[in-house]
Chains A and B, each alone.
Chain A
Amino acid sequence: MTEVGTPRRRSEDARLVTGRTRWTDNLQPAGTLHVAFLRSPHAHARITGVDTTAARERPGVVAVLSGADLAAEQGSLPCAWVVTEDMKHPAHPPMAVDEVRYAGEPVACVVARDRYAAFDALEDIDVDYAPLPAVVDMERAVQDGAPLVHEDLGTNRSYRWVFENGDLDAAFRDAPVTLERRYVQQRLIPAAMEPRAVLCEPDGEEFTLYSATQIPHILRLMLATVTQIPEHRIRVVAPDVGGGFGSKLQVYGEEVLCLLLARRLGRPVKWTESRSEGNMAAHHGRDQIQRLALAAEADGRIRGLKVDLLAGMGAYLMLVTPGIPLLGAFMFPGIYKMGAYSFTCTGVFTTKTPTDAYRGAGRPEATYAIERLMDELAAELGLDPIEVRRRNWIGHGEFPYETVAGLTYDSGNYEAATERALALFEYDKLRAEQADRRERRDPVQLGIGVSIFTEMCGLAPSRVLGSLSYGAGGWEHAAVRMLPSGKVEVITGSSAHGQGHETAWAQIAADRLGVPFEDVKVLHGDTAVSHKGMDTYGSRSLAVGGVALFNACDKVVGKARVLAAHLLEAAEDDLEFTGGRFSVRGVREAGATIQEIALAAFAAHDLPDGVEPSLDSDATFDPGNFSFPHGTHLCAAEVDTETGRVRLRSYVAVDDVGKVVNPLIVEGQVHGGLAQGIAQALYEEAVYDEEGNLTTTTMADYLVPAAPDLPSFTTDRTETPATGNPLGVKGVGEAGTIASTPAVVNAIVDALRPFGVSDVPMPCTPERVWRALNQRAEPEESAEPGAGGGLGSAGGAR
Chain B
Amino acid sequence: MIPATFDYVRPATIDEAVAALADAGEDAGQDVKAIAGGQSLMPLLRLRLAYPEVLVDLDRIEALREIRDDGDAIVIGATATHHQVLHDPLVGEHLPLIARATATVADPAVRHRGTFGGSLAHADPAGDLPAVALALDAVLHVRSARGEREIPAAEFFVDWMTSALEPDELLVAVRVPKLAGPGWGVHYEKFHRTAQAWAVVGVACAVRRVNGAVEDARVALTNMGPAPVRASAVERFAEGRTISRDAFRAAGEHAAAGTDPPADLHGSSQYRAHLAKVLTARALTAAAGG
Contacts and interface: CB of A to CB of B under 8 A. Distances in A.
B211 interface: no
Contact of A796 (B107, B196, B274): B274
A701 interface: yes
B71 to A, nearest CB: 39
B257 interface: no
A277 B265 CA distance: 20
Contact of B193 (A696, A765, A770, A771): A765
A709 B195 contact: yes
Contact of A767 (B4, B249, B267): B267
Contact size class for B? 20 to 34
Contacts of B160: none
Contacts of B194: 683, 703-706, 708-709
Interface in A302-332: none
Size category of the A interface is: 20 to 34
A728 interface: no
A116 B275 contact: no
A478 B111 CA distance: 48
A258 B194 CA distance: 37
A796 B5 CA distance: 50
A797 B271 CA distance: 9
Interface string A141-161: 000000000000000000000
A548 B238 CA distance: 73
A441 interface: no
A120 interface: yes
B165 interface: no
A423 interface: no
Interface in B156-182: none
B191 interface: yes
A708 B47 CA distance: 27
A1 interface: no
A276 B47 contact: yes
B191 A645 contact: yes
Interface in A660-705: 683, 687, 695-696, 698, 700-701, 703-705
A642 interface: yes
Contacts of B195: 706, 708-709
Nearest to B196: A706
A683 B265 CA distance: 11
Interface in A266-288: 274, 276-277
Interface in B175-232: 191, 193-198, 200
Contacts of B249: 793
A37 B69 CA distance: 53
Given A116-B5, A119-B1, A276-B47, A642 B278 contact: yes
A442 to B, nearest CB: 14
A724 interface: no
Given A642-B278, A695-B265, A767-B271, A703 B193 contact: yes
Given A703-B197, A705-B194, A696 B265 contact: yes
Contacts of A115: 2
B8 to A, nearest CB: 14
B266 interface: yes
**For the complex of A and B, 4 pairs with smallest distance between CB atoms:** A708-B195, A767-B271, A709-B194, A642-B278
27 contacts: A119-B2, A274-B1, A274-B2, A274-B46, A277-B1, A642-B278, A643-B275, A643-B279, A645-B191, A695-B265, A696-B265, A700-B197, A700-B198, A703-B197, A706-B196, A708-B194, A709-B194, A765-B193, A766-B191, A766-B193, A766-B271, A767-B266, A767-B267, A767-B271, A771-B271, A793-B249, A797-B270
Given A643-B279, A771-B271, 19 more contacts: A115-B2, A116-B2, A119-B2, A120-B4, A277-B1, A643-B275, A683-B194, A700-B197, A701-B265, A704-B194, A705-B194, A706-B194, A709-B195, A765-B266, A766-B193, A766-B200, A766-B267, A793-B278, A796-B274
